[in-house]
Amino acid sequence: MAVEQFANRFVCDLVAYEPGKPIDETARELGLQPQDIIKLASNENPLGPSPLAKEAMIKALDDAHIYPDGGGYRLRTAIAQKFGFERENVILGNGSNEIIELLCHCFLNRDAELIAAEHAFVVYQLMATLFGARYVKVADPGFVHDLEAMANAITPQTRLVFVANPNNPTGTMVDQAALDRFMDRLPEHVIAVFDEAYYEFLDEAPDTLKYVREGRNVCVLRTCSKIHGLAALRVGYGLAPAHVAKILQKARQPFNVNAVAQAGALAALTDDSHMQKTKAVNDEGLAFYHQAFRERGLEFVPSVANFVLVKVGDGDDLFRKMLQRGIILRAMSSYKLPEWVRISVGTMEQNRRCIEVMDEVMGR
């Protein structure tokens, strides 16, 4: 009997997530040196990790033979204090992706629904499929979440509504007033999940943590992968009322965040200087890309995150041609946007090189 015949059919139906192409893989395929490749595909921090985090991680290696704190006491306490919560309101994840999976594991089944925007992070749909739930996709005119339409889509079977703010891959956001109106309509049988991986890049950030303080059925997701520059370590966290966090903790794997990652995240969260430098680099880079695309008459989505979505005609073709020249972008076919690519903000040297090569490839 073929193994597919007795495998979980929901797993068999999955289309695996395809991350940004790794630098080492690209170097091997093209015969290039890794240091000669510019990766602008995965919304990583071009400045690297916080110096304080690097120091803490090196020190933590002395205890690599000892299991990590399975409950993440120090890191959860620090996060709670930073945002004015109790430790019981904080859950740690192997990246915020793990908490997305935990939410789906805990609250979805074959009779349930998950609602998200049409152009939202593809992992939401993957997780809904994995747990046999119905994935409800709501149109997002102008690539912005239509929270009124998302509220209208809620049924008695809805259990989770994901709102990525800012949204990946579009770089758009919804404001406080829209969020408040949405929450006023949220029924008690639904959990609103605010995925805020790019929150720290905002100039005027809405406050979703107030819903946690009010004890609403919400979970706010943050990550150390982006502005803190710790993507390789896989550290994310969720803030939720204790009654929600308690359920997620029950499903969490033991030792899901390793000791080196916990030490690095703990230090990074205190390094305001590194965060400010990163945001300044990102602000300059965003302005550069926006202006470059305007000058070239390319349609793009004005972004408040650390990447820009731009329409280039044939996204897969541009991706391949840029790749051959040592620049890794992100094609958007998996998001049903075949004419677009997403470009992460790098250093200004990397950003300028990206536009130079785009001009060459596109015959400008």
Quick check: 273 pLDDT over 90?
yes
Burial of 242 (0-12, 13-18, 19+ CB in 10 A): middle
d(CA 311, CA 240): 37
For tokens 């950030």, the residue is: 205
**Is-contact 134 113, C-beta < 8 A?**
yes
What's this model's pTM, rounded to 2 decimal places? Answer: 0.93
Quick check: 77 pLDDT over 70?
yes
Q: Which pLDDT band, with edges at 50, 70 and 90, does 35 fall under?
A: confident
Bridge-partner residues for 160, per DSSP? Answer: 114, 191
Quick check: 21 pLDDT over 80?
no
Quick check: 92 pLDDT over 90?
yes
Q: Which two tokens stand for residue 48?
A: 């690297």
Q: Which two tokens stand for residue 349?
A: 């040297």
pLDDT average, residue stretch 306-324: 95
pLDDT average, residue stretch 218-225: 97
pLDDT average, residue stretch 30-58: 93
What Cα–Cα distance (Å) separates residue 140 from each residue in 47, 88, 103, 177? Answer: 33, 35, 23, 17
d(CA 337, CA 158): 27
In eight-state DSSP terms, residue 22 is P
Quick check: 56 pLDDT over 80?
yes
Query: What pLDDT is stored for residue 5 in this prediction?
Result: 67
- In the chain, the N- to C-terminal Cα span, in Å, equals 57
pLDDT average, residue stretch 66-90: 96
What Cα–Cα distance (Å) separates residue 137 from each residue in 187, 214, 295? Answer: 19, 28, 34
d(CA 20, CA 307): 13
- Every domain of the chain and the residues it spans: 3-48+272-361, 51-268
Q: Which two tokens stand for residue 99?
A: 């908490």
In CATH, what class is 3-48+272-361? alpha beta
| CATH hierarchy code of domain 51-268 | 3.40.640.10
